[in-house]
Amino acid sequence: MAQAAAASARSALPAAQRLLIAEVFHSLQGEADAVGWPSVFIRLTGCPLRCSYCDTEYAFTGGQWRDFDSLLAETAQYGVQHVCVTGGEPLAQANCLGLLAALCDAGYEVSLETSGAFDISAVDARVRRVMDLKTPSSGEMHRNRLENLAQLGARDQLKFVLCDRGDYDWARELLAAHRPQQRCQVLFSPVWGRLEPATLAGWILEDRLPVRFQVQLHKLLWGETPGR
């Protein structure tokens, strides 16, 4: 009976205004240009990628169907300005585009964390797109849509999550070939527990790369707690 009730509730939601949501939570933004700001995170369920260093595998499945109104209402309870839509891979759900627009319409500073494996051209122009281009060690480099690089602008960020020297050299060569740093901010971040932050910082300084070094603030504060 409970399963039937849940199915009925799902079918009652407008199809164009519902999403499968893994969690909604309030925390400090740990990455990208909004780092340090109190933010609401809306994490969508599902991701077609299986990166070797993924720290949100719990979001691959499960979750609850939510409509836009309920997500906006929950977000408003925290009284913050910044909202991050993340995953999983949020663009794997087509209705993510509508949620992003609705959050912008409500006056929030909205960022989208995406792998870059999906076309980002239809994302609302008011959204700050944080695109995580996949490095060799991720095991998902073949999914990169390099045509997305031309879509990035001054409000956006291109992120490289690096496991080792091979990843670093690959990212450095991509910067030389495509020069995304001329269009947007470029972030280099070490994988927690796999590449020493000081080592990566030394490489960046030695090569005088025009990139912004970042560590995951939330992991410095709370360790490996999933999603925080």
pLDDT score at 2: 38
Predicted local distance difference test score (pLDDT) of residue 106: 98
What number of residues does the chain have?
A: 228
pLDDT for 111 equals: 98
Q: Which domains does the chain have, with CATH numbers?
A: 14-222 (3.20.20.70)
- The answer to whether residue 8 scores a pLDDT higher than 90 is no
Write out pLDDT tens, residues 143-177.
999 999 999 999 999 999 999 999 999 999 999 99
Using a cut of 0.85, tell me whether the model's pTM lies above it. yes
Give the Cα-Cα-Cα angle 68, 71, 74 (nearest 5 degrees).
Answer: 150
Res 5 pLDDT > 80? no
pLDDT class of 219 with cuts at 50, 70, 90: confident
Ramachandran bin of 208, using left for φ above 0, alpha for ψ from -120 to 50, beta for the remaining angles: left
- Does residue 226 or residue 200 have the better pLDDT? 200
The pLDDT value recorded for residue 225 is: 64
Distance, in Å, from the CA atom of 179 to the CA atom of 126, rounded to the nearest integer, reads 23
* Tens of pLDDT, residues 70-124: 999 999 999 999 999 999 999 999 999 999 999 999 999 999 999 989 999 999 9
Does the pLDDT of residue 9 top 90, yes or no? no
* pLDDT for 13: 56
- Run of H or E residues at 158: strand 157-162
pLDDT of 10 higher than 50: no
Report pLDDT digits (tens) over 12-62: 556 779 999 999 999 999 999 999 999 999 999 999 999 999 989 999 999
Tell me which residue of 15, 40, 36 sits closest to 26, measured CA to CA.
40
* Cα dihedral 171/97/93/95 (nearest 10): 180
Give pLDDT tens digits for 168-209: 999 999 999 999 999 999 999 999 889 999 999 999 999 999
Q: How many CA atoms lie within 13 A of 85 on its CB side?
A: 33
Across 128-157, average pLDDT: 97
